[in-house]
Structure 1
């Protein structure tokens, strides 16, 4: 028979592991939803541009789909109710005008930067690798996502918001 304390400890460890998985998966889901929103916005703008170009071209010269085919409207992505988002994460870059689908992209501009800065605020005074940051943010699914984190970290080092602690190591900048 297994002692009760050992069983309770195993349950606690399993629950803690599942909670970590849940947190990681929620972050990954949000990242994928943002990526889908960006792709959807781009798809819509490409469809509008193609439609405008086809309207300018004579029927005989038209390339691609027949003129009777209407472009499919871009699907709308419903944003996730994320109470952890700060106001800075949903603001557009300076000089960027919000119009139509561009507003969706503007709302996600700088989100990775803010997530990384929040990660370093929570991490404290420790050295971390870009891959560890990407993993914590749920962006370690492919090399492109990890490289995006590396590039953002390099920009943050350049602006003195994060400091380089060694080759491939980063640390929160001292306030």
Structure 2
């Protein structure tokens, strides 16, 4: 028969191992959420670029070139279309925010909080990714490490 102290020790060791696994899984989940937010943002950029190219070559915007292995916009699941619409709304909300705050430096987390999108790291990272795209298109300026400012008109 196994002693009580040995059983208790075994339970403690198992609990400690599970706590370490939980911490590791939470970190992995956060990393995957950030990666997913970045992929969704990039997907939107690629879809807009394909739409722009399609309009230049005269093809309907919802069709990809034949040699591409990309599904047309009409075949995307509803949640992808919702994410795309939310991306557009997020860009508009961010630009409106910068219009309201004027010529001040703000952090992505502050922008996310002002837009009520600071509930989790994925939402904050979506704001951060959108800010980076707005910097790339010169609609917003990077004022320093982690700081953004309205772009000059």
Q: TM-score range by the shorter chain?
A: 0.3 to 0.5
Q: State TM-score, norm by structure 2.
A: 0.48
Q: State TM-score, norm by structure 1.
A: 0.42
